[in-house]
Structure 1
Amino acid sequence: MTRSSHGTGLFLAIGSAGLYGLNIVFARVASFAGASGSAIVVYRVFLMLALVAIVAFVARRPLTVAREERGALLLLGVSSALQGIGYLSSVAFIPVTVAAVVFYTFPILIVLANPFVEKKPLTPTLVGVAAVAAAGVCLVVGPAFTELDWRGLALAFGASVATAVQFFTAARCTNTGVVAKVFWVQLIVLPTAILISLVTGQLAPPSVLALAPFAVAVTIGGYVGGFVLQLVALGRISAVAGGIIFCTEPVVAAICSALILNEVLSPLQVAGGTLVLAAIIANVFLEQRRVKHAPLLPVAD
């Protein structure tokens, strides 16, 4: 890994989080019109598979998977399916801001699990940055906790656990090309999404997308862009660094909710957003300093 590559990964992660924040707001708009989260996931997978196949053909990119990463890629696909369905479906039962605070327990899960998964000790600085980010997220979304539906909370927390798994797994799939990763992950997501949609009775015909065409288009487009940037970023930075940076998403979601859904931001929410941004900036600085003092590794061709 080079220092410039690591820096690029940090900023790609910020871009990915921003697109995801936009995506979830329009998923709620689509749910108001009757387009369920699981249905959107199923049809966006078809779109992504078609787009990736075209890119692979035109750019002559191989779709082969590194042999040692096949198991990890399977887990990445399943966790991606559970994340997408859980998070998008949760906003049909609870407000976007509430879904965001439950979902965004995943950076804390990543930090707590890191000593067991990556065998790296927790540092007081890292714990402090994660705590500041978590406090900021709670302030951003805290005032919205009213009349909660347990189904939305369960879906959002399930998505959080799946995302923690996704981050650790994606950070280990570094020898497989991005195009191949996107293709195979989506191919794994497809049957998982269809099965869950059938079990929950939410598998609808493609015509359901026409109920809110613009909202569905932004939801799918935000996810596609965010997912590609996420995979590229997590090939360059650690799961812990990525998890903290992705706290940008609920801030973006809260701002977009205020602008699009007329949800009012209180002074506490603004203060929370400031804390999140401060934690992200601190994390970027700490990561850059760590890489600066780390020995450089050769970059694979």
Structure 2
Amino acid sequence: MIDLRINIGKLKLKNPVMVASGTFGYAEEFRYFLDLKRLGAIVTKTVTLKPRQGNPAPRTCETPAGMLNSIGLENPGLEIFLREKLPDLKKPGVPLIVSIASEGDPQDFVIMARRLDKITDVQAIELNISCPNIKSPKLISQGPKATFDLVSKVRKVTKKPLITKLSPNVTDITEIALAAQAAGSDGVSLINTLTAMSIDINTRRPKIACVTGGLSGPAIRPIALRMVWEVYQKIKIPIIGMGGIMDTPSALEFFIAGATCVSIGTANFINPEATVEIISGIKEYLQKNKISSIRELIGSLECKI
């Protein structure tokens, strides 16, 4: 019997594959393509305290081995989310992780976390402190002190497992991960998208209305993998690895580098069944290599550094 179960703090998952925030809508959009009950967890599209229209179009464009997006956290706001989206999200019976963000005031995180703490259908909270597509002088996740202060404040108002989503747009991501851990985060997810741009040479205009956007897809996987490996060597809390995971082999790389579980993003746009195919593929790999538990694979990289 292959054991795919993993824990993130008090959050218990039957398998280590979840969907990344912002790439799976509110799950209802995908219910016709796959059995949602097979997922390890669902991470919601990021929600802010108040409704947000998002950024002007065009918001997305294709790039070599990836895509740019600048959606700008479009969402209906927390209360409408709880009233209109949550009922469908809870139907599959899969652990639900609600991703939250602020439009500029860090206190928004505290207000939302306190509200979500009372919602029994929400099993965990992801603090999206790293979205590159909102107007802010500096992301919270770009400084260890700001990260520590924010996570500490949120930790005081909720007993639910907290996952802090980290930005790759920093000099040393391990400092941010250590700060999140010290402040009481139960896990960290990395990486969010890389700030990037693309230009239409015929019009000499940016392909994204906001000029820059977040780069995702296979192009960023080697960077994400390196950062997961670096963070794994520094912290003791679980890592949710993400960034260009498209299939089973790329998911396995993240486990070997140190990820406790993986989150599938851009692949959902290309192949709506990517997540369940990866779950099956991981199980087959473990059986073939006579590994009884996914936990044996985590951090098993052999190197002489």
More helix by share: 1
**Normalized against structure 2, the TM-score is what?**
0.29
**Normalized against structure 1, the TM-score is what?**
0.29
More strand by share: 2
Higher relative contact order (CA 8 A, sep 6+): 1
